[in-house]
Structure 1
C-alpha cells in the first residue's frame, strides 16, 4: 500500500513538473502599453512562455528575435489579450519560408500538426507558391501576401474569401531578406491587417475574441523585430469567446 501511494505521488509530481516546465517563461521580446496609460504606467516587456518548441528554437539578440523553424510549434504570450493593436516587423531568411502569429489563441497545440486554435496572421515568403504546386498549378499569389483565417477550432468570416480564408486584395509583401511591417487591429471579433503601410485584408465574427498571442515556428528561419502591443479598452464578450486560461 505504501509503495502504491509513493508511486502515485511520484507520477502526480512528474506530470505537474512537466507541465510547469513546458509553460515556463522562455524569453522577453517586444513591449506592451495601454492606449491611455496612467501617469505612473510605463511600457512593459512582453514575456513569452514555452509551449511545444525547444530552448534552441528562439534567440533574442540586439532586439531581434530569430526563430530557426524547428521543431514545429509555438510559444505564447504570458497574458491574454482582447482588444489591441499589434505592430511587428518580420522577414524570412529562406525561400518559401512559412510562419505567422496567432491572435485570440488557446495556445493548446493539436496532435496532428502541433499548432493551436486561433486566428492566424499568415507570414509566407513569396517563393512558397512556386514550391507548393498542386497538379502543376501554383496556389494564388495572394496566398503569400497576408492571409487571415481561423485555425484549428477557431472560425471567422473572411472579408475577401478564398474558401474560409481571407486573402489580401493587394500584393504588398517583400521577399527573402527584406523586412515587412504588419499592423494588426483586433477589436470585438474583427481583425484588419495592414501590410507595409496599407490595409488590405480583414476577417470578422471570430469565434474566439480573447486569448493568447502565439509566435509560430513552422520549418523555416525567420526574424522578428519592433513588436509592440497597444492594449485597447475591452468590449462586450461572451464567456464562450474567451479561451481557457493556462
Structure 2
C-alpha cells in the first residue's frame, strides 16, 4: 500500500551565518555551555580572592582571610593557593571553550554554504524507552520528486518492519546507505535534535542536513544536522536579527 506524503513547500533558506548559529543554538544551549558557564566559573574564584584580600586588609587578625604574613597565617596561605589554582583552571577551561566556540562559527559558515533543507515526516514506528513512547522520523531532501520521496518512506517503513528500530543513540541513517543511490535523498532519525514531548509529533517541519567537513562520498551518514525553528519562532528570530543588523548599520 502506497503511503501519502504531505511535504511542506516553504523551503527555509537561512539569510546569514548568524541565523544558522541562532537556529543551531536554539536547541542545544551552546552559548551557555561555551561562554556563559565558564565565565561564571572564572568569576567565582575571582570573587573568592577578592573576599580574601578585602578581609586581610580590613580585619587582618580575624576570620579565615587572616594575616597572610603572621606566624599562624599558614591557613590563610592555603586559601589563597586554592583560590588561585581554581582561577587558573577556570581560565584554562574558558580559553578551551572559546577555541571550540570559534570552531562552531567555522562550522556555521560551512552549514550556510553547503546545507540542504530536508522536510520531517513521522514514521509509524515509535521508540519506547520504558518511560514513554517517542516518535521517530524520516527526513526528505526537498529537491527530490514526490515519487522518490514516497519510495524512500516506504523502503524505510519496510526496513523498520523487518529489522526493528536501531539501538538507542544511533546516528542518522541515510537511505542511500541502506537502499542504494536510486533511493538517495532521505535519512532516518531515531532521535531528532530538538525538544520533544512523548507521544506527540514535533512542531518542527525542517532540518538542514550538511555533509561534514571530512565528508567521504562513500559515507553518506556523516552529516551535520541543524534544526530549523518552527514557523512562528523563525519569524521572531529573523525579526530580531534584522533589528540587530539595522542598529549595527547606523
Q: TM-score range by the shorter chain?
A: under 0.3
Structure with the larger helix share: 2
Higher relative contact order at CA 8 Å, sep ≥6: structure 1 or structure 2? 1
Larger Cα-atom Rg: 2
Per the normalisation by structure 1, the TM-score is: 0.25
**TM-score (normalised: structure 2):** 0.25
